Amino acid sequence: MKNSVKLKGRLKTYLQSSLYLGFLLIAVDLLIFLISYRAGLVLTCFIIFYFAIILSLMFYNKPVIINEMISFATQYGQIQKRLLRDLDLPHALLDDSGKIIWMNIAFEKVVNKDKSYRKSITSLFPSLTKERLPGINGEEEAEFNLEYEGCNYAARLKKISLKEMAQNSDIIDAEGYDGYLIAVYLFDETALRIALQEVDDQSLAVALIYLDNYEEALESVEEVRRSLLIALIDRKVNKYIAALDGICKKMEKDKYLVVMRKKAVSLLQENRFDLLEDVKTVNIGNEMAVTISIGVGLNGLTYAQNYEFARNAIDLALGRGGDQAVVKMPEDIAYYGGKSQQVEKGTRVKSRVKAHALREIISVKDEVYVMGHHLGDTDSFGASVGIYRIACALGKPAHIVLDDITASMQPMVDMFGNNDDYEEDMIISGAEAMEAIGRNAVLVVVDVNKPSLTECPELLKHCSSIVVLDHHRQGTEIIENATLSYVEAYASSTCEMVSEILQYISDGMKLKSEEAACLYAGIMIDTNNFMTKTGVRTFEAAAYLRRNGADVTWIRKLFRDDAAEYKAKADAVSQAEIYRQAYAISICHGEHVQSPTVVGAQAANELLNIKGIKASFVLTEYNGMVYISARSIDEVNVQVIMERMGGGGHMTMAGCQLKDSTMEDGIMAIKSTLDTMIEEGELG
């Protein structure tokens, strides 16, 4: 066998170099023969002797050389294997199914297994499933971050083809064979992660703290004790921030600037910003508890960006009604608190200022378009009619954008469509608005502040001047770059806000009875017949509308249920499931009902009349989607529940829409959301 081994390459050339030199001597000998015959004979004898020695050495030494080479290769392979086995870098080999077939000592120490362990890599690292391995998913290499027994590793996996080895094998048929192994390397990044986390924890965050009801709280306490109330609040806020190793600076009488480490923000989040509840305990005889809003800017590229995030966050917290904290990051926004109702402002100064601003905007525009939310309700249509009246009073042509008209809305729409006192194009579709809208037009969005929920979202992109009037709490998705935004979460309805604006637009503003009735109906529906979210200003707005001819009797007749709707509502109430002894969940079957979503909302209100029910959820299927109406009285904030499911609304009245879902999926989603929020401490 050893004699059959054939050498090639540089080694063969090196071993045969002496033979090649012999041929060179022959050539030299021929030249010497031409000079001297005797000298040529002497050299010829030497050459014969030289070749005899070279050939004998080559013949006898070749087996020795081959033996030495094989011995060296064997020892080298053993050394390589030993080095790989003792290598400090954890390393393992897997077969093409992910099963461990070999691992070195370092890998054994990491996973606390011996070298006989032959199970799948998934049994050690659950996230490293078979589908994610290279080769199976078509990739040659892959990298993952893994965690094992409190340590963090960067895992690199590489596919090693065995096809070439199979082609040179005498026992494997290489035809069609495409076997491979997977090499796994683990790089311990635990110390690096700890260091990076420490650096990240030390980065600075900016927060703004505003007192929501500063003026109202001071008015509820004796004048001589007001300074004491302010001092106690200052002490409470400063002491709390100091305990977090932060800096708190009072900028204005009701505003604080806070600088703290990111780690302190994590502690605040873990405690769910208990400062919100802590401040409410300050009481020196004040009838009204002081509430605060907190806006935190985090993970910005610069300190200035964190401050900008904090400003956006505090605006969002105030827009959602106050008494809550908002943490804004580049890619995410987190909400905390928001469990109490926003206190109604006793002054109408803001309404007057917004009314004058709206008048200035409309006055310089050629036309006005008014748009509510998709599947408009009484509040959105009534507010749209109010804005229409303002535009007409200022001498500007106006159009209400309305596509889908529900059965409950049809009588109100017909009241204007069949009236010669109004233009034929008073109510137009979204497509018509897209074609007709000019460059110098203003778009007024009422009863919604989420672009995706508007009647015609594309219209927002074609109008440079946008006004937003809404009473829903703001969420993450808002209408950007609005020329005027008037969002008041304390208002009972958008119709109430528009009714106040109407009183300040111009002197002697007179509504027609149909318009006053629409606005009055919007307030009545959104307050559940003046039982929910009603304040002094709500009744003042209703009184203003009554003075302008709102027919309460007509409104009552308008909203009477037919037999099918009444039965559907009664069935939804009777079939309700009481979940966790506090949450009523039911389904409204609206196959024979013209406006199933309205009936579902009414059923949700009815369920609140059951003792012990903190919140109610009624699901309705309509136009291929599942609509959820959520209601509460004062114990549960249904807005944050619906926001987790992609919706929104008010603290006591909210909803969401589920696409590509069944009723059963919706019920499971509600239960899962409630379970999660209860575990996190957001719900009792």
Decide if 469 contacts 445 (C-beta within 8 A).
yes
At 586, the pLDDT band (50, 70, 90 cuts) reads very high
Question: Structural domain boundaries of the chain?
Answer: 10-85, 91-196, 203-337, 349-558, 563-679
Per the structure block, which two tokens stand in for 452? 């995706």
Decide if 538 contacts 525 (C-beta within 8 A).
no
- Supply the pLDDT for residue 641: 92
User: Helix, strand, coil % (nearest 5) of the chain?
Assistant: 45, 20, 35
Record: fold of 91-196:
Beta-Lactamase (3.30.450)
d(CA 279, CA 324) in angstroms, rounded, equals 12
- Supply the pLDDT for residue 620: 93
At 577, the pLDDT band (50, 70, 90 cuts) reads very high
Q: What is the pTM of this model?
A: 0.58
Q: 656 burial class (0-12, 13-18, 19+ CB within 10 angstroms)?
A: buried
Q: Is residue 21's pLDDT more than 90?
A: no
Closest CA to 603 of 561, 638, 645: 561
Q: Is residue 102's pLDDT more than 70?
A: yes
**Higher-confidence position of 64 and 236:** 236
Report, as an integer, the average pLDDT of 183-191: 88
Domains 203-337 and 563-679 equal at CATH topology level: no
Amino acid letter at 326?
V
At 218, the pLDDT band (50, 70, 90 cuts) reads confident
Per the structure block, which two tokens stand in for 603? 């059923």
Kindly state the helix (H) or strand (E) to which residue 78 belongs, with its residue range. Answer: helix 37-86
Question: In sequence order, which residues have a C-beta less than 8 Å from that of residue 609 and are 6 or more positions away?
Answer: none
Report, as an integer, the average pLDDT of 613-629: 92
d(CA 446, CA 384) in angstroms, rounded, equals 7
At 1, the pLDDT band (50, 70, 90 cuts) reads very low
pLDDT digits (tens, 9 = 90+) for 335-392: 888 765 555 555 678 888 889 999 999 999 999 999 999 888 899 999 999 999 999 9
Percent of the chain with pLDDT over 70: 92
- Residue in the block written with tokens 């799948």: 120
Architecture of the domain defined by 349-558: Alpha-Beta Complex (3.90)
**Higher-confidence position of 630 and 562:** 630
Looking at residue 374, the DSSP 8-state letter turns out to be S
Percent of the chain with pLDDT over 90: 34
Angle at Cα 295 formed by Cα 289 and Cα 297, nearest 5°?
160
How does the average pLDDT of the chain come out, rounded? 85
pLDDT digits (tens, 9 = 90+) for 544-555: 999 998 988 888
- Helices 349-363 and 494-505: crossing angle in degrees, nearest 10, is 70
The CA-atom distances, in angstroms, between 404 and each of 11, 78, 368, 381 are: 88, 80, 20, 12
Decide if 288 contacts 269 (C-beta within 8 A).
no
Amino acid letter at 206?
V
d(CA 476, CA 299) in angstroms, rounded, equals 17
d(CA 100, CA 96) in angstroms, rounded, equals 10
Q: Is residue 70's pLDDT more than 60?
A: yes
Per the structure block, which two tokens stand in for 66? 């081959």
Q: Is residue 147's pLDDT more than 60?
A: yes
Highest mean pLDDT among 112-116, 138-142, 516-520, 597-601: 516-520
Chain-centre distance for alpha carbon 267: 21
Closest CA to 617 of 606, 628, 633: 628
CATH class of 563-679: alpha beta
d(CA 531, CA 536) in angstroms, rounded, equals 13
Chain-centre distance for alpha carbon 684: 25
- Supply the pLDDT for residue 2: 45
Decide if 277 contacts 289 (C-beta within 8 A).
no
- Supply the pLDDT for residue 178: 66
Chain-centre distance for alpha carbon 656: 16
- Supply the pLDDT for residue 251: 92
Kindly state the helix (H) or strand (E) to which residue 627 belongs, with its residue range. Answer: strand 625-632
Cross-strand partners of 583: 579, 615
Amino acid letter at 252?
E
The CA-atom distances, in angstroms, between 23 and each of 20, 34, 37, 61, 350 are: 5, 18, 19, 21, 111
d(CA 171, CA 152) in angstroms, rounded, equals 42
Span 203-337: which CATH code? 3.30.70.270
Report CA Rg, the chain. 41
